[in-house]
Copies of this chain bind each other. A is one copy, B any other.
Amino acid sequence: MKITVIGLGLIGGSLAIDLREKDFATEIIGVDCNEEHRRQARNRGLADRIETLEKALRQPDPGLVILAIPVDAIVSLLPKVLDLVGPEVTVTDMGSTKAAITASVEKHPKRAQYVASHPMAGTENSGPAAAIAGLFRGRTTVICDAEKSAAFALRTIDRMYEVLRMRKIYMNSADHDLHTAYISHVSHITSFVLADTVLDIAKDVKTIFDLAGGGFESTVRLAKSSPEMWQPIFKHNQQHLVTAVRAYIEKMQGFLAKLEGGEWNEIRDFLTEANEIKRVLAKIGGRGAP
């Protein structure tokens, strides 16, 4: 199958690497609006050819078009991509929010050719240089509003995620955005805010980073993530994130009150309660394995 990948960054580039496996992609046509990214993608051989969007979509045989760009760019581009593709082409996106994206093509005459999906995989790095093999293996992907997609399009996307060795789950776009607010987006906010808090104190206390150990690095890892990717995600998911961040701040204020009051038994109980996450994550770890 001939595949057009729009956006050759971490996600698009990693897809391109893995989709060559098992001859799922017979040819990969790359599209990227960033000249430096096109150069890097060319050097790494991520695509067979790099074309302009219009030229890439005017391909003769049916195939698959994947949008792997920031969510605001997906909202702008997805309707135009559907306008341009032939009737047997499947279109999907890798966006981390789904409600605004699916709304942008709700009434599109070719809506059924589009499958809304979100592979829950990534690293804090970005750009074609960050693309790696096996990024998706063993992880979960979400297919949203599957009933709005044609059977042939769902089959194509199913096969793609089989090649990527991902576990599939199905839900509607609204639920997806609620769940990812808590599981993914708030994690990024807490990391960004912690990084900024520590950078602030470090201005006064010069040697603070001499101490940075593994614990700090893992909690602020996500703060290295690309603002170009995450600002639009926070914008799309504003409503759920306001609720989630409020709940988080309330918990944090509760902890602060216990800390200020020296309520050590209550703090121990709270830590023990939060420890429950260990059991939950162990369960996911077992199920998420390839």
Contact = CB atoms under 8 A, between A and B. Distances in A.
Interface string A197-210: 11111100101111
Interface string A132-172: 00000001101000000000000000000000000001010
Given A200-B247, A211-B183, A252-B245, A271 B178 contact: no
Interface in A204-247: 205, 207-225, 227, 230-231, 234-235, 238, 241-242, 244-247
Contacts of A183: 198, 208-209, 211-213, 216
Interface of A: 120-123, 139-140, 142, 169, 171, 175, 178-180, 182-184, 186-202, 205, 207-225, 227, 230-231, 234-235, 238, 241-242, 244-249, 251-253, 255-256, 259-260, 262, 264, 267-268, 270-278, 280-281, 283-284
Given A218-B221, A227-B271, 16 more contacts: A120-B214, A140-B211, A178-B205, A179-B211, A184-B211, A187-B219, A188-B215, A190-B194, A191-B274, A192-B274, A193-B255, A197-B247, A199-B274, A215-B222, A218-B222, A224-B281
Contacts of A270: 192, 196
Contacts of A175: 207
A182 B178 CA distance: 31
Question: Chain B CB within 10 Å — which of A212, A214, A260 has the most?
Answer: A212
B231 A171 contact: no
Contacts of A249: 249, 252-253, 256
A187 B145 CA distance: 37
Number of copies: 2
B251 A264 contact: no
Nearest to A217: B281
Contact of A272 (B218, B227, B280): B227
A53 to B, nearest CB: 25
Contact of A256 (B140, B180, B214, B246): B246
A40 to B, nearest CB: 18
Q: Chain A interface mostly helix, strand, loop or mixed?
A: helix
A259 B274 contact: no
Contacts of A194: 186-187, 190, 248
